[in-house]
Amino acid sequence: MCGIIGYNGTDNAIPYLVDGIENLEYRGYDSFGCAFDSSGKIAIKKDAGRVKDVLSKYPIDQVYSNRGIFHTRWATHGAVNRVNAHPLTDCTGEIAVVHNGIIENLDELKAMLKNHKFVSDTDTEVISHLIEEEVSKGSSMESAVKSTTAKLVGSSSFAVLSSRDNSVYAVKKGAPLVLGLAKSGTFVSSDVPSFLKYTNKVVFLHDGDVAVLKKNGYKITNLYRKEPNHSVTMVKLSYEEVDKGRYHHYMIKEILEQPALIKKLLDSGLPDIKKAAGLINPSATVYLTGSGSSFYAATVGAYMMVKNGIKAMAIQSQDIPLYRRLMSNKDTIIIVSQSGETADLINSLDSISGIKKIGLVNTKGSTLANSVDYWLDMSAGQERGVAATKTFTTSAIMLTLLAYYTAGKEKDILPDLRLLSLNVYNIFVPSLYAAVDKVAAKLKNKENVFFIGRGIDYLSALEASLKLKEVAYIHAEALDAAMFKHGPLALVDRDLYVVSFMTKKNGPSTSNNIDEIKSRSGKIIGISEENDRAFDFFIRSQPAGAFSFITQIIISQLLAYKVSVLKKIDPDHPRNLAKSVTVK
CATH assignment of 244-427, among 1.10.150.650, 3.40.50.10490, 3.40.309.10, 1.10.1060.10: 3.40.50.10490
For position 371, what pLDDT does the model report? 84
pTM, rounded to two decimals: 0.83
Residue 363 CA to residue 1 CA, distance in Å, equals 16
Residue 10 CA to residue 313 CA, distance in Å, equals 54
Which of 2, 253, 357, 469 is flagged as catalytic? 2
**CB proximity list for 155: less than 8 A, separation 6 or greater:** 101, 102, 173, 174, 175, 343, 346, 582, 583
Provide the H-helix boundaries in 239-328: 239-242, 250-256, 258-267, 271-278, 293-307, 320-323
Cβ atoms of residues 24 and 42 within 8 Å: no
CB count in 10 Å sphere of residue 491: 15
Which of 172, 467, 562, 579 is flagged as catalytic? 579
Of 254, 180, 166, the residue nearest 214 (C-alpha): 166
Angle at 544 between CA 529 and CA 405, to 5 degrees: 150
For position 340, what pLDDT does the model report? 79
φ and ψ at residue 557, rounded to 5 degrees? -65, -45
Q: Is 579 a catalytic residue?
A: yes
CA atoms lying within 13 Å on the CB side of residue 37: 24
φ and ψ at residue 98, rounded to 5 degrees? -120, 145
Long-range contacts formed by 121-125: CB under 8 A, 24+ apart: 121/77, 121/78, 121/79, 121/83, 121/84, 122/77, 122/78, 122/84, 122/86, 122/88, 123/76, 123/77, 123/99, 124/77, 124/86, 124/88, 124/97, 124/98, 124/99, 124/158, 125/88, 125/89, 125/97
Cβ atoms of residues 355 and 315 within 8 Å: no
Of 128, 83, 78, 123, the residue nearest 100 (C-alpha): 123
For position 584, what pLDDT does the model report? 59
Three-state SS for 93? coil
Of 477, 481, 493, the residue nearest 526 (C-alpha): 481
**CB proximity list for 327: less than 8 A, separation 6 or greater:** 285, 287, 333, 352, 355
229 CB-contact burial (10 Å; exposed 0-12 / middle 13-18 / buried 19+): exposed
Residue 18 CA to residue 56 CA, distance in Å, equals 12
Residue 180 CA to residue 13 CA, distance in Å, equals 13
For position 236, what pLDDT does the model report? 77
Residue 196 CA to residue 178 CA, distance in Å, equals 12
CA 319 to chain centre: 20
Which residue ranges does the chain devote to CATH 3.60.20.10?
Answer: 3-242
Q: What is the DSSP string of 517-530?
A: HHTTT-EEEEEESS
Three-state SS for 224? coil
Q: Is 34 a catalytic residue?
A: no
β pairing state of 31-38 and 41-48: antiparallel
Residue 249 CA to residue 385 CA, distance in Å, equals 8
Element of type H or E holding 188: strand 185-189
- Give the homologous superfamily in CATH for domain 3-242: Aminohydrolase, N-terminal nucleophile (Ntn) domain (3.60.20.10)
Q: What is the DSSP string of 60-83?
A: GGG---SEEEEEEE--SSS-SSTT
Cβ atoms of residues 551 and 462 within 8 Å: no
Three-state SS for 228? coil
Per-residue pLDDT of the chain (584 residues; tens, 9 = 90+): 789 999 999 999 999 999 999 989 888 888 999 999 998 999 999 999 999 999 999 989 889 999 999 999 988 888 989 999 999 999 999 999 999 988 999 999 999 998 999 999 999 999 999 999 999 999 999 999 999 999 999 888 999 999 999 999 999 998 889 999 999 999 999 989 899 999 999 999 998 999 999 999 999 999 988 777 788 988 877 666 677 778 899 999 999 999 999 999 999 889 999 999 999 998 899 999 999 999 999 999 999 999 999 999 999 988 998 999 999 999 999 999 988 777 778 778 778 888 999 999 988 778 788 888 999 999 888 888 889 999 999 999 999 999 999 999 999 999 999 999 999 998 999 999 999 999 999 999 999 999 999 899 999 999 999 999 999 999 999 999 888 888 888 888 888 899 999 887 666 777 778 878 887 888 999 999 989 888 999 999 999 999 999 999 999 999 999 999 999 999 998 888 776 665 55
Residue 360 CA to residue 297 CA, distance in Å, equals 10
Question: What is the second-level CATH architecture of the domain 429-584?
Answer: 3-Layer(aba) Sandwich (3.40)
Q: What is the DSSP string of 359-383?
A: EEES-TT-TTTTTSSEEEE------
Residue 373 CA to residue 378 CA, distance in Å, equals 16
Q: How far apart are the first and last CA of the chain?
A: 10
Which residue ranges does the chain devote to CATH 3.40.50.10490?
Answer: 244-427, 429-584
